[in-house]
Amino acid sequence: METQLPRNLGDRVAVVTGASSGIGEATAKALAARGATVAVLARRKERLDGLVAEIHRIGGQAAAWTLDVTDRKAVEAVAAKVLGEFGRVDIVVNNAGVMLPNPIEAIRADQWQKQIDLNISGLMNVIGAFTPALIKAGAGGGPADLVNISSIAGRNIFPSFAVYSGTKAFVTHLSITLRAELGAKGVRVSAVEPGVVGTELLNHVDCKGVQDWFEASRSQMEWLRSEDIAETIAFIVSAPRRMNLQLVTIMPTGQAM
């Protein structure tokens, strides 16, 4: 017997970045299934169109905007369009990111910059564009949520992950500090730190040592699924307004660190 999900987000509007696959796609579906109107943002238009169609088939509400979050002006323009379309935004899931581990002596400056541009600058572009709407929502007496997707790599030590780990440490520390700043304005800020999740993120890895580690770990433990992270995010934003889960770490049961 299929369990009916509570539609407890029926009066809320969510923005999800990096929504064309993985955690972003699963999160958009989870929030829509609970009644939220969802604006899905990513670079791959055909993936977004398919996601919107799927959400509509299950009775949800969604619209898509093609966007590269590293383009600040484009992010601001899309934010204006989302607000024009839906009138407000009170959930932002800052999920777009990239993981490109390599030994530092490989001097992959192109990969360093790409991770900094997307994981840090892109994240900040989204925060800058949507924070005024979140503050307005918080001032209106309802819940308002900024959820930033970080990683356990931001606190744990993994060889060849120095730059990626540095970007995710930024995300976690920024989130905790922003919570202190925005909480008084009615905006909850949460950082979610997953362990190994089976997503397209792993397909971008071109370091053989890291590829071998992931391949070995797949046979040794069951990885997290995107839906696990999505359900956690849905729980975070569904919590009573008085309650802010500021830092949530989600590990595969079999992953030691």
Q: 126: helix, coil or strand?
A: helix
Listed residue (255, 101, 250, 69) closest to 165, CA to CA = 101
**Residue 145: burial class (beta carbons within 10 Å; 0-12, 13-18, 19+):** buried
* 164 belongs to the catalytic site: yes
The token pair at 108 is: 């992959």
Please give the single-letter amino acid code of residue 147: V
Taking phi over 0 as left and psi of -120 to 50 as alpha, with beta for the rest, 84 belongs to alpha
Which residue out of 164, 179, 205, 245 is catalytically annotated?
Answer: 164
**Residue 62: burial class (beta carbons within 10 Å; 0-12, 13-18, 19+):** buried
Strand arrangement, sheet containing 91-94: 61-66, 37-42, 13-17, 91-94, 144-149, 187-194, 247-250
- Displacement of CA 52 from its chain's centroid (Å): 18
* Active site members: 164
